């Protein structure tokens, strides 16, 4: 079984309040994009996990793919498997790659061993692994609320638009991202604002992490501004960074872009 866990981008991200459990109440729209890791799962006598491509930091066993397997094995006594993850989505980049990998392990094992778990069951399991993980079970545009696990489908598509995704190789940790935000409720919800034409989004749809992250890492702000200068109808940082993306009406010429722009390019293509 070979699967292709996708990255996601965030269309707006509002930090509404600090919760009593230490998490933050947020609102964001997440959209899968055609930029993938590669995950192979095969039945095996002994469990093994091989990771190639971009190196994932951390001790053996800490990877979310392994945690997803152990979670299902504990609950449903599934047999061992061999997993090979070819990592292509950068870590700490606001693209949800690790969460996507974990969700696809759950879905893949559900199919491989015919567990017949519903999407709701899989989402509940995914929520035990991380806030973004449930989103990747259905893998469609969704509003995420709570700490990111409360999902509502969105009638939103960017099909036919051209996407440029840049990552400057700066790791933005969760602690750093949240340290600089000032939670507050907005006059209009993000869901309502997204009903406006995409041509109006740049003045309406905001990622609350940008102010402090851009102050700490001006290079990220410079990349976003270059996307706008190159004609993006909407550009933003994704999640807590450090990736930024631009949505264009059509393919653009990259030859004249800055060296930082070219060196940061990790995906460009039609959605």
Contact yes or no for 81/41 (Cβ under 8 A): yes
Helix (H/G/I), strand (E/B), else coil: 132: coil
Q: How many residues are listed for the chain in this entry? A: 271
Residues 166 and 265: beta-carbon distance below 8 Å: yes
Q: Tokens in use for 199?
A: 């041509």
| d(C-alpha 255, C-alpha 92), whole Å | 28
* Separation of first and last alpha carbons in the chain: 25
DSSP-derived pairing of the beta strands 81-87 and 48-53: parallel
**What are the strands, taking DSSP E only, across the chain?**
2-3, 6-18, 24-36, 38-43, 48-53, 81-87, 142-145, 150-153, 162-166, 234-237, 244-248, 265-270
Are 104 and 5 contacting, i.e. CB atoms less than 8 angstroms apart? yes
Tokens describing residue 147: 């700490």
Q: Which of 8, 37, 208, 224 is catalytic?
A: 8
Catalytic residue list contains 262 = no
37 catalytic? Reply is: no
- Asked whether 134 and 235 are in contact (CB, 8 A), the reply is no
The one catalytic residue in 37, 101, 132, 208 is 132
Angle of CA points 178, 192, 231, to nearest 5°? 75
What is the set of active-site residues?
Answer: 8, 132
């Amino acid at each position: 079984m070979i699967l292709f866990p996708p990255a996601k981008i965030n269309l707006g991200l509002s930090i509404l309040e600090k919760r009593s459990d230490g998490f933050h109440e947020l609102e964001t729209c997440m959209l899968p994009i055609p930029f993938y890791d590669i995950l192979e799962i095969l039945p095996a006598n002994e469990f093994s996990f091989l990771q190639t491509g971009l190196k994932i930091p951390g001790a053996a066993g800490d990877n979310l793919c392994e945690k997803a397997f152990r979670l299902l094995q504990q609950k449903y006594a599934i047999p061992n498997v061999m997993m090979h993850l070819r990592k292509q989505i950068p870590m700490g980049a606001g693209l949800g790659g690790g969460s996507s990998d974990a969700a696809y392990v759950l879905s893949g094992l559900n199919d491989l061993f015919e567990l017949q778990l519903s999407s709701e069951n899989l989402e509940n399991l995914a929520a035990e692994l991380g806030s973004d993980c449930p989103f990747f079970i259905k893998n469609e545009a969704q509003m995420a609320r709570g700490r990111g696990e409360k999902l509502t489908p969105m009638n939103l598509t960017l099909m036919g638009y051209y996407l440029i995704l840049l990552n400057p190789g700066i790791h933005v940790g969760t602690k750093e991202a949240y340290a600089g935000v000032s939670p507050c409720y907005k006059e209009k919800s993000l869901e309502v604002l997204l009903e406006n034409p995409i041509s109006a989004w740049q003045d309406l749809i905001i990622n609350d992490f940008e102010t402090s992250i851009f102050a700490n890492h001006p290079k990220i702000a410079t990349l976003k501004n270059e996307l706008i200068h190159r004609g993006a109808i909407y550009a933003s940082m994704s999640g807590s960074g450090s990736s930024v993306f631009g949505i264009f009406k059509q393919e653009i010429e990259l030859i004249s872009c800055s060296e930082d722009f070219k060196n940061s390019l990790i995906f460009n293509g039609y959605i």
